[in-house]
Structure 1
Amino acid sequence: MAAAYFQRLGEGRFRATEHTGGAWEPDTQHIAPALGLLAHVVEVDRDRRRDDTLVVTRLSYDILGTVPIDEVDVDVAVLRAGRTIELVEAVLAAHGRPSVRLRAWLMQRRDTRDLSGSGHPGLPGPEQTEPWDATSVWRGGFIAGAEVRRDQQAPGRARVWVRTSTDLVEGEPVSPMSRFAGLLDIANGMAVRADPAEVLFPNIDLTAHFFDQPRGEWLGLDTTVSFGRGGVGLTTSVVHDETGPVGTSSQSLTLRPR
């Protein structure tokens, strides 16, 4: 197997490898690497078009269906051009069917270090958090390739660190932002509220806001999973790098008892 989630076949065309194998169905992709791929192509498109300091500040994904472990196509379009703010859309399609849609806001970077701060509490670092074998709960190549450290505090409540040595796209440099984007979706399975053998709870979307650009290898997640009474759930996380909180993410869940 290639030591990457995707191999580039050409402009806007990629082949998924076995490393993308899903947690719910191992013969379809775990959606996490695809989310990272879309963030990456948005940043690649940005760098081709402009040479200034626009950075990704919001990633809003709609998951339109399952994605086979096969070739996929990605298209990028600027929906709102601007000198200091842009809205960019990227769509991933498999076999001609759109599967994931991303809308990303990009903003001009400015020096606001004197104003920086957050009320979100920090996390114990990865060295202070016990390793956890996520394959004890989840299947698939993506989970098997993730290094996880977890402090499970209660059902649906956990503090987690995760990283991977698997490249996002074979042979291509990838920013820390896109690398983080390729791990964010793991949050829904890290603070398990119910046994996935008894209840399906896949997410249909993911939205992440960043007030600081992430750095380093480790993604930290301070995660809470909530199940409602009408078949809907929500996974929310404060997103960290090793320096502290950098943003938030949320995932809408569809609850389906087996």
Structure 2
Amino acid sequence: MSDQPDAFYLPAGDDVYEPTIATESPWDSSAQHGGPPTALLAHVIDATVGPEMRLARISVDFLVPIPRRPARIEVTTLRPGRQVRLTEAHLVVDEKTAVTARTWHIATGPTPPAETERVPPPPIPQKPDEWHSLLGMNDWGYGQAIEWRFIRGGHGPSGFAEVWTRVRIPLIAGQKMTGLARTLIVADAANGLSATLPIQDWLSIPPTMTTTLLRHPDGEWVHLACRTHLADDGLGVTHATVSDPDGRIGDVNQPLLIRER
């Protein structure tokens, strides 16, 4: 992308953010891809929680196609606590809630007397791919704002994809990029990456997404290993394992509406 915006979002006042072209959905240039709003909601929620707690799960409900217009974020604590905390946030556009997120934060503590083996994913390929071109689609903001390096998949519908990603721009202009934001910006791409049918002809819509995190990534690169399964009644589900070069970060789950365009 030769002329990248400064970030996915520009601050536009108290709790208001203006989306840039980098949030653009491949299906509607006036709408946002689900990844950036998910990361934005998590970022704003995270700022209301002390450093002694870490986000362990986020569930996001996409109530309508997300307009690519300025949005206000409203945050409410549903279950305060020192060990666990449940928080809800709404992305409000034109006085209507477009996205709702609920997060569980869990307090960090001493290292347990046991260790989970970290199995690193395959090495990062040397040559980047242009996912938007591989899909046979015109350039679109979200696809260009991320560097994609496929190990498997990406060249057509297969039901499985394995890809390294690197987010090219900050989530919010003027703010340092976090590992949490890197992970959530790409998490909602899992169903598109692992599509089982040609996405030019078939819709694969996740009305909700849940990401459960073991930890936040170290470094710039996030790896997704995604698989989509279809039922015989027009539904599907995508699961993705998320990793960094050191090993597993967490898991993504998306139920799907599958329909011919």
Residues matched between the structures, number = 252
Equivalent of 2:165, from 162, 172, 188?
162
Letter in 1 for 2:63: L
Instruction: Name the counterpart of 2:124.
Output: 126
Instruction: Name the counterpart of 1:35.
Output: 38
Letter in 1 for 2:233: G
Alignment of 1:93-108 (within 5 A): 93-108=92-107
- Alignment partner of 2:45: what SS? helix
Give the Cα separation in 2 of the matches to 1:251 and 1:86.
23
Instruction: Name the counterpart of 2:143.
Output: 143
How far apart are 1:158 and its partner, in Å?
Answer: 1.4
Unaligned runs of 5+ in 2: none
Q: Which structure shows the bigger proportion of residues in helix conformation?
A: 1
Letter in 1 for 2:152: Q
Give the Cα separation in 2 of the matches to 1:195 and 1:162.
22
Give the Cα separation in 2 of the matches to 1:10 and 1:30.
23
Give the Cα separation in 2 of the matches to 1:26 and 1:188.
19
Give the Cα separation in 2 of the matches to 1:116 and 1:55.
19
Letter in 1 for 2:130: D
How far apart are 1:114 and its partner, in Å?
Answer: 4.3
How far apart are 1:214 and its partner, in Å?
Answer: 2.1
Deviation readout 1:135-191 (Å, 9 max, x if unpaired): 121552010221001122681111111112111000122421122112211111212
How far apart are 1:12 and its partner, in Å?
Answer: 1.2
- Alignment partner of 1:104: what SS? strand
- Alignment partner of 1:252: what SS? strand
TM-score by length of 1: 0.92
Question: Is the contact between residue 192 and residue 225 of structure 1 (CA under 8 Å) also seen in structure 2?
Answer: yes
How far apart are 1:16 and its partner, in Å?
Answer: 0.6
Question: Is the contact between residue 167 and residue 182 of structure 2 (CA under 8 Å) also seen in structure 1?
Answer: no
Percent of residue pairs bearing the same amino acid type: 27
Give the Cα separation in 2 of the matches to 1:174 and 1:116.
28
Instruction: Name the counterpart of 1:67.
Output: 66
- Alignment partner of 2:9: what SS? strand
Unaligned runs of 5+ in 1: none
Give the Cα separation in 2 of the matches to 1:72 and 1:30.
14
Instruction: Name the counterpart of 2:204.
Output: 201
Instruction: Name the counterpart of 2:56.
Output: 57
Alignment of 1:229-244 (within 5 A): 229-244=232-247
Give the Cα separation in 1 of the matches to 2:85 and 2:158.
39
Equivalent of 2:193, from 184, 190, 193?
190
Question: Are 2:20 and 1:17 aligned?
Answer: yes
How far apart are 1:115 and its partner, in Å?
Answer: 2.0
Letter in 2 for 1:97: K
Question: Is the contact between residue 123 and residue 159 of structure 1 (CA under 8 Å) also seen in structure 2?
Answer: no
Instruction: Name the counterpart of 1:172.
Output: 175
Instruction: Name the counterpart of 2:109.
Output: 110
Could you list the runs of 4 or more consecutive aligned residues of structure 1 that deviate by over 6 angstroms after TM superposition? none
Give the Cα separation in 1 of the matches to 2:120 and 2:195.
21
